[in-house]
Structure 1
Amino acid sequence: MSLVERIITDPAVCHGEACIKGTRIPVSVILDNLASGLDMNEILKSYPSLTADDVRAAIAYAALLTKERHVYL
């Protein structure tokens, strides 16, 4: 299974926001935590239902999104 297969979007879960499969944890929450300087171990401690592969999947998902569109700052 590829890492991105760990990501789901379901209108019945978190209003369709991309989440880690089997959880209600949005990908954006994981990325926000990483951007704030938390390391993987801190995130896993805060969200015990996550695995290291889930965090890597969130990063892989974000990488895919940056290939699809440009955000001009």
Structure 2
Amino acid sequence: MTQNNLLSRISIDSNICFGKPCIRGHRIWVSLILDFLASGMTVEELLEEYPGIEREDVLACIAYGAELARDCYVEIPVGKKKVVLK
């Protein structure tokens, strides 16, 4: 699947989940899926936990996060200094 096809699996509706990006047709926040992946959960574990979603939905969440990261600056503390990633 291409990046655009993956991103078509994400929806944003101000009347659903406070307008947060969700997996299309579900009330599962993209940020929730990314948090689970960041904590070490595998794609397979996510699919077991949320049987209504597909592998491509999880990949779409990752693609969405990657798109956001291209345009954002994140301050990361390193020791006592802050490093700004561009």
Instruction: Name the TM-score class by shorter chain.
Output: over 0.9
The TM-score normalised by the length of structure 1 is: 0.96
CA distance in structure 1 between the partners assigned to 2:51 and 2:71 by the alignment: 31
Q: Which residue of 2 aligns with 1:60?
A: 63
Which protein has the larger Cα radius of gyration, Structure 1 or Structure 2? 2
Gaps of 5+ in 1: none
1:41 aligns with 2:52: no
Moved over 3 A (4+): none
Q: Percent identity?
A: 45
Residue 45 of structure 1: how far off its partner (Å): 0.4
Q: Which has the higher contact order (CA 8 A, sep 6+)?
A: 1
Give RMSD over aligned pairs.
0.9
The TM-score normalised by the length of structure 2 is: 0.82
Flag the structure with higher helix content: 1
CA distance in structure 1 between the partners assigned to 2:73 and 2:47 by the alignment: 30
Gaps of 5+ in 2: 77-86
CA distance in structure 1 between the partners assigned to 2:48 and 2:15 by the alignment: 27
